[in-house]
Amino acid sequence: MVRILHTSDVQLDAPFGFLGGRGTDHRRQLRETFAKIVKLAGEQGYDLLLIAGDLFNDNRPARDTVNFVSRKLGELSIPVCILPGNHDCYDSDSVYRKHSFPANVHILTERPTYLEFEDLDLIVAGSPLISANDSRPPLQDIIRRDDRRWFVALAHGNLQIPGYIESDARPIAPDEIVACAADYVALGDWHAFADYSQGDVKAFYSGAPEPTALAQSGAGNVASVTLSDDGVEVKPIQVGSTSASTLAIDLSDLSEAEVIALIRAQADPSLMLSVSLTGLKGIDHLIDLEAVHEAVAADFYWVQVTDFSATALDNIDPAEYPETHVIGQYIRMMQEKIAESENEAERHRAEQALQIGFALLRGEEVLR
């Protein structure tokens, strides 16, 4: 029996522009979570740690970060296999060329690379990405060579799901998963834990251990893999300290206070929440996004509120706002502008202008 811990897409030292001032906190969190994974691998009886690409966010991580990774991995008594991904590709400037790693760390640098672990009766194979734009199928040329030993494949790329995901970049065809005949295919590049087993071949994305962007709702796990005569068992283990989620709120009949209350219902200091305001709102239904954000920001690790709602123009009765009035005229002119909008941004601006002007003409003090 061989026990494997599989992670990917840690993206150490990634910039988090969307987190504003919390970027530093999140980078620190990524490190802590990585240390947690290494500790898990070392203390829970695993035989092998697999990192299926994008351990680093790029090939220029801080030296301190590389030293940290080397130190942590060097503390392990088990082998570690690292597959360079698109973020930390094995190019001439690769972090894996510039720095030395402990002896138990095996970087897959050839295309393909086969590593034999006699003690584990196991072969690990994978093809690194040699540039950020390396679009070759990562499972191409990976094939089982020895039926008597366990065979694990590593691949960093995009699984092809006909009609749903058909990417030209680093495509992994379901047939290739079957063809490689591995006992387990450790996938990386997607940030959510997911089972994409094909036929008899178990294939899983471990997902990123921490979300690196908003709306990465499946992030936060590693994959615990057990290869035994009884079969291959894979289960997720929660390691992330933060989570990401999305919330869509239909503004149609909600006041600003009600919107705030709905967002607050999700309050979680470890949650990155992306709130989308949707639906058709009344012309007089002006939501102050900044006020909403300000009201809920302290309740979350990070919250972003984006207004995707549209203004309900069909239910504005011309008789209620006759064109003999400025307000009626204003509404009609803005309706024309909205109808003539050439893109979504222009339409959104016109709708906002309609709402603000409408409110001002009704005597509301909306320009605080």
Partner 1 sequence: MRINRIRLQRFGCFDDLEVQFQPGINVIKGPNEAGKSTLHQALLLALLERPTKKKSTEPYRTWGQERWYRLDVEFVNDQDGPWILSKDFESSDQVLSDAQGNDLKGSDQVQAVVESALGTTSLGIFKSTVCVSQDALTDISAGRKEISQSLEQIVTGGDEDVRTESAVKALEERVREYRRGYLTHAPVNPGPIARLEVEQKHLSDTAKQFMARVEDRQRHLDEQRKAQDRLAEIEEEFGPRQALLARVEQSQSIKAELDKWTERERTLDSRLESIFKAEQAAEVAGHQLQELQPVSEATDEQIQLITRLHERVEVLSGEKERVLRYREEQRAKSAKGKRPARSAVVAPGLVTALGIVGVLFGFLALALSQNQAIGGTITALGLLVALVGMGWLFIAYSRSGRVPSTVAVPEIDPAQLTAAQNELNQKLAELQCADMEELDNQWRQVQTFRRLSDKAEAQLKGMIPEGKTKEELEEARRVASRKRRDAEEQLSAPELEQATSLDMIEVLKLQEEVSALQTERQDLENSLNRLAGKLEEPSVTREDLLRAEEQLAAVEAELERAKDRLAVYELALETMEAARSKTLKRAQDELAPRLGGYLQRLTLGRFSEVAVDGDLRIMVRHPNNTTDMVEPGLLSNGSQDQLYMAARLALVDLLFAETRPPIFLDDPFVKFDPQRRQAAIELCQQIAKDRQVLLFTCSDHYDQTGHLIELKGAT
Using CB under 8 A, list all residues that contact partner 1.
13, 15-21, 23-24, 27, 60-65, 98, 317, 319-330, 332-334, 337, 345, 349-350, 352-354, 356-357, 360-363, 367
Provide the Cα torsion 253, 257, 262, 265; round to 10°.
-160
Q: Give SS3 for 179.
A: helix
* Least distance in angstroms from the C-beta of 43 to partner 1: 29
User: At its nearest, how many Å lie between partner 1 and the CB of residue 135?
Assistant: 27
Q: Which long-range contacts (CB under 8 A, 24 or more apart) does 336-344 make?
A: 338/311, 338/313
* CB nearer to partner 1: pick between 181 and 310: 310
Q: How far apart are CA 69 and CA 57, in angstroms?
A: 13
Question: Toward partner 1, which CB reaches closer, 10 or 186?
Answer: 10
Looking up tokens 């950020």 gives 132
d(CA 151, CA 134): 25
Least Å distance between CB 353 and partner 1? Answer: 4
Minimum CB distance to partner 1, residue 233 (Å): 39
Distance from C-alpha of 29 to C-alpha of 34, rounded to nearest angstrom:
8
Nearer to partner 1, 90 or 117 (CB): 90
Nearest to partner 1 of 193, 358 (CB atom): 358
Compute the distance between CA of residue 59 and CA of residue 25 in angstroms, rounded to an integer: 21
Calpha distance 309→294 (Å, rounded): 19
In whole angstroms, how close is the CB of 305 to partner 1 at the nearest point? 12
DSSP code at position 237: E
Q: CA angle at residue 285 from 298 to 271, to 5 degrees?
A: 25
Q: Is the CB of residue 220 less than 8 Å from the CB of residue 194?
A: no
Q: Is the peptide bond before 112 cis (omega within 30 degrees of 0)?
A: yes
91 versus 134: smaller Cβ distance to partner 1: 91
Q: How far is the CB of 82 from partner 1 (least distance, A)?
A: 20
Q: Give the shortest CB-282-to-partner 1 separation in angstroms.
A: 11
Closest to 191 (Cα-Cα) out of 48, 28, 57, 62:
57
26 near 59, Cβ under 8 Å?
no
Minimum Å distance from CB 326 to partner 1?
A: 4
Pick the closer one to partner 1 by CB: 62 or 248.
Answer: 62
Q: Which is nearer to partner 1, 75 or 253 (CB)?
A: 253
313 or 356: CB nearest partner 1: 356
Nearer to partner 1, 149 or 293 (CB): 293
What are the distances in angstroms from CA 328 to CA 317, 334, 353, 365?
10, 10, 14, 19
Tell me the C-alpha distance between 7 and 189, whole Å.
Answer: 10
Write down the least CB distance from residue 343 to partner 1, Å.
13
